Amino acid sequence: MSDQEKELKLLRDQIDSIDRQIHGLLNDRARCAQHVAEVKEKYQGSKDAVFYRPEREAQVLRRVMERNEGPLADHEVARLFREVMSVCLALEKPMHVAFLGPEGNFTQQAASKHFGHSAHCIPFNSGDEVFREVESGGAHYGVVPIENSSEGVVSHTLDLFKRFNLTICGEVELRIHHHVLRADDLGLDQITRIYLPQQTLSQCRSWLDSHFLSAERILVNSNAEAARMAIKQGAGAVAIASELVADLYQLNVVARNIDDQSDNSTRYLIIGDQEVGESGQDKTSILVTVRDKSGALYELLEHFHKHKISLTGIETRPANSENSHSAFYIDFEGHAANKHIQKVLQELQSETVELKLLGSYPVAVL
């Protein structure tokens, strides 16, 4: 055995011993999860027992990231623990998740990111079908894109919350940013051809229209292919793709984050029919309907300002011509179980036509 082989053998024996310990602990953890299920069934009955607790998962993942000292990156360890929880949960109760398809899209990625790969994710053709599937109990949870106004999803999803009696149990963020990449050093000069897939075009259309309206746009199958075409075509050709693709193909990033919706375009909601407890770092979403008059929104927001509650998002729905009512979808920091938040909700209740609490849920961890 050579010196190298000896040194490697020592390390591999060490890894094998670590693996045996991890393996034993994983099964110990699974047994605990089974006991949790038994306790819940004993007290709540097997029909009403709730096995998936988003707030508890968020706490576990946050703790993992806080105490992590490396060398594994925080998000990588958290991802592993997400998978561990997913496997343990599948043992208590196989999880069925409905998502807005088609298969293989970003919404499916969001579903897998949130529920891990042990959950069964099933594609549906419309937000409507996703909501109906969850309401009927066919799926335990649903995943829908919420902030992707380029494709008009937001308004449609908002309407669904009016029609279905479901709550928001969580949110998922996918961080996808698009950049302009090219092989040469000309920066943003002399761009004549832009390679990109359809989905990317719909996410970056405004920026491209305002900066490069006259350049030819050539649709390809993926962002990686766009990069390859830009390299192949050379002079004047650029690709729209992510940092990862730029690294892979060693292209220069000549303009960053050209997405029309910046972070917004990649947020997804988990819908279900359960109330989620406090995780210590939560968000609340409401749908408020007010009589359409000037200053209506300002008056609404004053209540939040007064109680020092940070808004994290707001979407306006146009006035309904029939009854002159406007609707606002508002996200803010804090949990509805919190007294502070309850006060604001009470104030809003008395001043609005309708206030619908869509749910309090943990802020996206990963």
Quick one: which of 46, 50, 103, 234 contacts its own copies (CB under 8 A)? Answer: 103
232 makes contact with its own copies (CB under 8 A): no
135-140 CB contacts, 8 Å cutoff, 24+ apart: 135/164, 135/165, 135/166, 135/273, 138/96, 138/98, 139/96, 139/97, 139/98, 140/52, 140/95, 140/96, 140/97, 140/272
Given 1, 48, 71, 136, the residue binding its own copies (CB under 8 A):
71
C-alpha separations of 321 from 83, 318, 356 in Å: 48, 9, 21
Which of 50, 117, 219, 306 lies at the binding interface for its own copies (CB under 8 A)? Answer: 117
Q: Is 46 in the site for its own copies (CB under 8 A)?
A: no
201 scored as a contact of its own copies (CB under 8 A): no
Q: Does 319 bind its own copies (CB under 8 A)?
A: no
Other Cβ atoms within 10 Å of 176 Cβ, number: 18
Cβ-based nearer residue to its own copies, 103 or 209: 103
Site string for its own copies, 131-170 (x = CB under 8 A): -------x--------------------------------
- Our CB check for its own copies shows the closer of 77 and 301 to be 77
CB of 333 to its own copies, least distance (A): 26
Neighbours of 42 (CB within 10 A): 10
Render 44-56 in DSSP notation, one character per residue: HHHHH-----HHH
Is the CB of 11 or the CB of 213 nearer to its own copies?
11
Instruction: Using the minimum distance from each CB to its own copies, give the nearer residue, 40 or 114.
Output: 40
Among 62, 74, 123, 292, binds its own copies (CB under 8 A): 123
Which residue in the set 46, 63, 198, 205 belongs to the binding site for its own copies (CB under 8 A)? 63
- Show contacts with its own copies in window 11-30 (CB under 8 A): 11-12, 14-16, 18-23, 25-30
Concatenated DSSP letters of 343-355: HHHHHHHHHSSEE
126 interacts with its own copies by CB under 8 A: no
Sign of CA dihedral 206, 211, 217, 219: negative
Query: In the chain, which residue ranges form alpha helices assigned H by DSSP?
Result: 3-48, 54-67, 74-92, 106-115, 127-135, 153-163, 198-211, 223-233, 243-249, 296-306, 339-351
Q: Distance between the two ends of the chain, CA-based, in angstroms? A: 45
Which amino acid appears at position 333 of this protein? E
Give Cβ neighbours of residue 360 (< 8 Å, ≥ 6 apart). 275, 276, 278, 282, 283, 284, 334, 335, 336, 337, 341
Kindly tell me which of 245 and 270 has the beta carbon lying closer to its own copies: 245
Residue listed under structure tokens 């509650």: 309
Does 277 sit near its own copies (CB under 8 A)? no
Shortest Å distance, C-beta 39 to its own copies: 5
Which 73-102 residues touch its own copies, going by CB under 8 A?
A: 76-77, 79-81, 83-84, 87-88, 90-91, 96, 101-102
> Which is closer to its own copies, CB of 45 or CB of 318?
45
Contact between 34 and its own copies (CB under 8 A)?
yes
Give the nearest distance from C-beta 129 to its own copies in angstroms.
8
